[in-house]
Amino acid sequence: MNILGKTRQFETMVAVLEEMGEKGFLTMDTFSIAIKAFAAAKERKKAVGVFDLMKRYKYRVDVDAVNFLLGSLGESKLGKEAQVVFDKLRDRFTHNLQTYTILLNGWCRVRNLLEAGRVWNEMVDEGFKPDIVAHNVMLEGLLRCRKKSDAIKLFEVMKAKGPLPNVRSYTIMIQDLCKQRMMREAVDYFNEMVGLGCQPDTALYTCLITGFGRQRRMDMVYDLLKEMREKGCPPDGRTYNAVIKMMTSQHMPDDAVRIYKKMIQSGFEPTIHTYNMIMKSYFVIRNYEMGRAVWDEMHDKGCCPDDNSYTVFIGGLIRQSRSDEACKYLQEMIEKGMKAPQLDYNKFAADFSKAGNPGILEELAQRMEVAGKFEVSNVLARWADMMKKSTKGRDPTMSGRQFT
């Protein structure tokens, strides 16, 4: 079910759901996977249709199931669709504070503060008192919509009237300041929080590390990493990735690899993003051998390359004038159903033409056309045609000029 959901083979997924139902294998986890997959693909009707399957196989559609559906839609930036589903189902289940908080989050994620305010007022009118989670959602929504003064007002109201800000509240405020490179103010909030007896967690430290990293204040980064361990909240996967991003952005891939090794030693699995960052950094400094080594390491660790991995790798190969090799991976990418990457295809074809094999370019042009990349297809076809003409020796003196 997970594999079918990730590859968006929805018809097969529904067939498997029905087969599992007939054999009595269905669980709430199964329905949750289906709901999340449909929501991620923005298939609202199919997501709601899962409830019909639940009824058919005698599963009770309760508030937790509806909340999960609404939450999945909201996380996929389908706040409007989540509201429509809620309005349709509201008479069929007893909603709670979490229901309204989920709707609030859905609207905040799509930056619709007008609807978020309406949900907040409806929540209060229904007799639900917004808790710290609801306040944090609203706080994050205001900052996402660049309503910083309103966010500060809400934060001060929370300190004065409750619910008192928690570590998540401070993290939201500090993260926004770090994005704006206002590190002095971020540290002030951090010190205020500690002074109130609220202990920082790994996520908060990671925010500060990222902020100081943007300013290339590596002294502060290392001090914070040391303090984290002393305070009993060691770096997690996100922290390691943040530090790796810092190193790669400063074109220090060898240092990034050192952090990568520590990450693995600490028991955290690198993500595809980890490999992409390090690989790109090596190609930027024109170290093809290490860029290729990262690609191989990614495969050895069982991490499947995504669109960005192929784009970085193929781009690196082209910059190293290895267009014949790049062509192989470009074909592999298209065969997997991925979108053709944004590359300088004129340079790619020009470099490839030196190998003198127009047939491969023609085949690639056809594949691009089938994939709907007509502009790219035309570029490759044009170069293939020029290669054919040049090999016929129609005017050897011009061929050199054509391929410059």
| Mean local confidence (pLDDT), 136-159 | 97
What is the spatial distance between Cα 307 and Cα 305, in angstroms, rounded to a whole number? 7
Flag whether 403 is in a domain: yes
The token pair at 60 is 């009770």
Maximum average pLDDT range among 31-45, 150-164, 308-322: 150-164
pLDDT of residue 394 exceeding 70, the answer is no
pTM of the model: 0.77
**Highest mean pLDDT: which range of 14-18, 366-370, 391-395:** 14-18
Decide if 341 contacts 333 (C-beta within 8 A). yes
pLDDT at 234 exceeding the cut of 50: yes
> Any idea what DSSP says for residue 399?
H
Confidence of residue 397 (pLDDT cuts 50, 70, 90): very low
Number of structural domains in the chain: 1
Task: Specify if 241 maps to a domain.
Answer: no
Q: What span, in angstroms and rounded, lies between the C-alpha atoms of 323 and 316?
A: 10
Residues 129, 131, 137, 139, Cα dihedral to 10°: 90
pLDDT surpasses 50 at 372: yes
**Banded model confidence at residue 55, pLDDT cuts 50, 70, 90:** confident
Whether 126 is in a domain gets the answer no
Which one has a higher pLDDT value, 309 or 57?
Answer: 309
Q: What percent of the chain has pLDDT over 90?
A: 53
What pLDDT sits at residue 322? 81
Average pLDDT over residues 319-333: 80
User: What is the span of the domain harbouring residue 366?
Assistant: 333-404
Report the C-alpha gap between 354 and 34 in whole angstroms.
50
Q: What is the pLDDT of residues 170-201, one digit of tens each?
A: 999 999 999 999 999 999 999 999 999 999 99
> Does 384 fall in a domain?
yes
Q: What is the mean pLDDT of the chain?
A: 87
Q: Is residue 392 part of a domain?
A: yes
Indicate if the pLDDT at residue 93 is higher than 90: no
Q: Which of 209, 246, 256, 252 has its CA nearest to residue 229?
A: 209
Does 194 map to a domain? no
Supply the pLDDT for residue 391: 59
Listing DSSP states for 171-227 in one string gives HHHHHHHHHTT-HHHHHHHHHHHHHTTPPP-HHHHHHHHHHHHHTT-HHHHHHHHHH
Residue 374 within any structural domain of the chain: yes
Domain for residue 342, yes or no?
Answer: yes
Interval 255-272 mean pLDDT: 93
Q: Is the pLDDT reported for residue 208 higher than 90? A: yes
Which of 126, 119, 124 has the alpha carbon at shortest distance from 103? 119
